[in-house]
Amino acid sequence: MQVNIGEIKDTKGGEIRFRLVEDWSKLYIDGQSVHCVSPVVFSGRVTATGEVFLVRGTVATDIETTCARCLSPVRVSIKADVDERFRMASHAGGAGSAGDREDEDDEWREEDVREFRGLTIQLDDVVLENLLVSLPIKALCREGCRGLCPQCGQDLNAGECGCIVSDINPRMAKLAQLLNGRE
């Protein structure tokens, strides 16, 4: 995903509205069972402030992940607000002078301003980062999903397995003993 800022590059206050739609279904995120099952839609605008380009908008897609309790696939709609700043990389960035220039530039180089080259701002990274932070920590296939039996692994939504599972955790059991002892 990208947006070309050619028209507003020299116009302070200039704005470009965009709506980008891309199929990210082939994207698999390392170590996470997350899969985009509908196109990623990013609608927003770029505003030239004279110093930076503000990119603001909303990203939405549907992802498929697994239920935190029973591990069955769950589809979740996610939406993330994007609010990022970009600036053009300076042309005078020769490899030799980079070290000397760094100190002068420090004030300018706020941590949260990203650089881009040419007239095109690449948005994939910010879109991905913002989507990732919006993922549900625990997705459930349904409210009150009963999960898997800790003993035999049966999906308890499908029916009882007949195992006898004690839910009392050892610390609570000790507390119960103490309380009983007082009586």
Contact residues: Zn ion, CB under 5 A: 67, 69-70, 141, 145, 149, 151-152, 154, 161, 163
Name the residue nearer to Zn ion (CB basis): 34 or 67: 67
Nearer to Zn ion, 84 or 155 (CB): 155
> Shortest gap between Cβ of 140 and Zn ion (angstroms)?
6
Alpha carbons 40 and 23: distance in angstroms, whole number: 6
Closest contact distance (angstroms) between CB of 58 and Zn ion is: 29
Q: Which residues contact 29 (CB under 8 A, 6 or more apart)?
A: 128, 132
How near is the Cβ of 64 to Zn ion at its closest, in Å? 13
